[in-house]
Amino acid sequence: MSETLSAKAARRIALAAQGFAEPRPTEAGRRHLLKTVARLGLLQIDSVNVVSRTHYLPLFSRLGAYPRQLLEAVAWGPKPDLFEYWMHEASLAPHAVQPLMRWRMEDAAEGVGVWKGVARFLRSHEDFINRALDEIARRGPISASELEIGAKGAGGWWGWSEGKRALECLFWTGQLTTATRRGTFERVYGLPDKIHPKAVREAPTPDRASAQRQLIRIAARAQGVATEPDLRDYFRMPPADSKARLAELVEAGELTPVKVEGWDRPAYLDPEARRPRKIEARALLSPFDNLIWFRERTERIFGMRLRLEIYTPAHKRTHGYYVLPFLEGEALTARVDLKAERKAGVLVVQAAHAEPDASPETAPALAAELRLMAGWLGLSDVRVEPKGDLAPALSHALDR
């Protein structure tokens, strides 16, 4: 007989797995940051900077006002602890994950599934590709704009130049890696043998099934309790592979099938998952935060229908351009459309909406978190625009 979990118990397990059952450290340092990334498995990267680039935000949500330069050092410094690859979209992860992604690099080189265009480009531009690799070997890490071969004008694939397409294909197949980021977040490409630590370079390549089982284990640990699509989405695994690996882990007793009240799919529990009786968290969540990035799971666990409206025309948006849900205790009680006006030194709440679980304490709690975020971003004030049903109470709480 499968164990049955209440919806509340499953929510608490999920929050604890994501690091929200622990108090924030008084002063977060490198150790806290790396421990958090290891717990999460990876951080999604996104270039949108209307508040802060998203990879900084999950750490703020869990650690509070940590020094942002710490993440830059461990991700893109001289001796990084993280590497960059296409995992859950473009992502950062601990070096130990790199060998586990080599099957995807092989898929990209061979044109398996969604990678057909990558393999086709590499085959049709073989001479150009070799010249690009030779240039990087000779010059060291360079950005696409610094590549001295290829057409510079915009072309296909998001308007990328021929050189950019070549370097990205080489990145996806693992022949190049990110050496660092510059300026407006421009990727600088280098040879893996010159960038990755010796331990990574010499790590044996696991077979596809072994690597995927380990990725499912990481996803299960990071989610606590999850459905097969939840686990699959974490590292964007092919459905057939995900289902096969999950069955193998269940057979081995490494994941426990459970039923969750109100869930319409079978669920799987990490046997080592914490089961707290109460969660007392308070956090603003990036729309790309690991806790909520899979919208189906977010709605199932929290009852919030979350949609990214960046690409929706302004007059058709329901909640705003860059909306961050607010985690209060065990519930998502509000959502705010934020914008950092850096020249003015103001964090602007362009809209504030309450959720069904909001209470009279929501506005003061949210106000405190907004003040903390503003200070962390180097902004001196928070301003609330009169839009959304929570805006008046939030404005009043900030005035107090």
pLDDT in tens, 62-112: 999 999 999 999 999 999 999 999 999 999 999 999 999 999 999 999 999
Beta-bridged to residue 336, according to DSSP, are 324, 352
Q: Phi/psi zone of residue 262: left (φ > 0), alpha (ψ -120 to 50 degrees), beta?
A: left
Q: Please provide residue 271's backbone torsions phi and psi, each rounded to the nearest 5 degrees.
A: -55, -25
* CA dist 344 → 181, 252, 340 (Å): 27, 57, 9
Q: How confident is the model at residue 400 (pLDDT cuts 50, 70, 90)?
A: confident
Strand partners, 351: 337
Split at pLDDT 50, 70, 90, the class of 153 is low
Query: Does residue 121 carry a pLDDT above 80?
Result: yes
Share of the chain above pLDDT 70, in %: 97
Strands of the 89-94 sheet, one edge to the other:
43-44, 89-94, 82-87
The yes-or-no verdict on residue 149 having pLDDT over 80 is no
The pLDDT of residue 159 is 45
In this prediction, residue 1 has a pLDDT band, given cuts at 50, 70 and 90, of: low
User: What's the CA gap between 123 and 389, in Å, rounded?
Assistant: 56
Taking alpha carbons only, the member of 301, 271, 334, 306 closest to residue 9 is: 301
pLDDT digits over 304-328, tens only? Answer: 999 989 889 988 999 999 999 999 9
The mean-pLDDT minimum among 93-97, 112-116, 346-350, 378-382 falls in 112-116
Q: Is the pLDDT of residue 158 over 80?
A: no
The contacts of residue 230 (CB under 8 Å, 6+ apart) are 219, 223, 294, 296, 297
pLDDT tops 60 at residue 154: no
CA distance 124 to 197: 32
Q: Hey, what are 370's tokens? A: 């907004």
Residue 184: which of 323, 48, 57 has the closest Cα?
Answer: 48
Is the model's pLDDT at 333 over the cut of 60? yes
**180 vs 189: CA distance, rounded Å:** 7
For residue 24, pLDDT over 50 is answered with yes
The reported pLDDT for the residue numbered 98 is: 98
Query: Each residue of 348-378: pLDDT tens digit?
Result: 999 999 999 999 999 999 999 999 999 999 9
* C-beta neighbour count of 361 within 10 angstroms: 12
Strand bridging mode 346-354 / 381-384: parallel
| Continuous segment of H or E residues that includes residue 335 | strand 331-341
Tell whether the model's pLDDT for residue 383 goes beyond 90.
yes
* Token pair of 7 as six digits: 């919806």
Q: What's the pLDDT score for residue 157?
A: 43
**Segment 76-79 long-range contacts (CB within 8 Å, at least 24 positions apart):** 76/178, 76/179, 76/180, 76/181, 77/180, 79/197
The pLDDT of residue 240 is above 80: yes
